[in-house]
Amino acid sequence: MLCADGFLWHNIKMNTTKKILIIEDDATLSELLSKQLLSSGFETLVASNGLEGLVKIKNDKPDAIIVDIMLPVMDGVKMLEELRRTDPHIKIPIIVLTNLNDIEHIEKAINNNAIAYLVKSDQSLQNILDILHKKLGM
């Protein structure tokens, strides 16, 4: 629906923008992901550790999360465990994007609601975008 001045359309369009929280301590990768997501029509939020990520999840209510495992202050697995403990019914799609490729971390991530576990060296930005589009119904 579009008003003569376009106001209503603008509001509807703005409200459908999906927010993606990137929890990554590598500033270069975080910036690269953020730029790619922004150019694909997403809004981005960035946290550099798991504890900061938990605060942003609570305050900013992202539509999806991309999180590394190896993080300072609180690692990604601990953050996922804390998120699951405090909100066991959380429905936010969580993608783990990490350099770790061992069964222990994979199992912990999946058992704590991660929808995908991706090894950085094996992934393209397009693959990450494809997963987000699919999980967010876009």
Cβ–Cβ under 8 Å, residues 122 and 100: no
Interval 62-116: pLDDT, tens: 999 999 999 999 999 999 999 999 987 788 999 999 999 999 999 999 999 999 9
Residue partners of 62: CB distance under 8 A and separation at least 6: 19, 20, 21, 45, 56, 92
Sign of CA dihedral 131, 16, 83, 87: negative
State the architecture of 18-135 in CATH terms: 3-Layer(aba) Sandwich (3.40)
Residue partners of 16: CB distance under 8 A and separation at least 6: none
Pairing of strands 64-67, 43-47: unpaired
Total-model pTM: 0.86
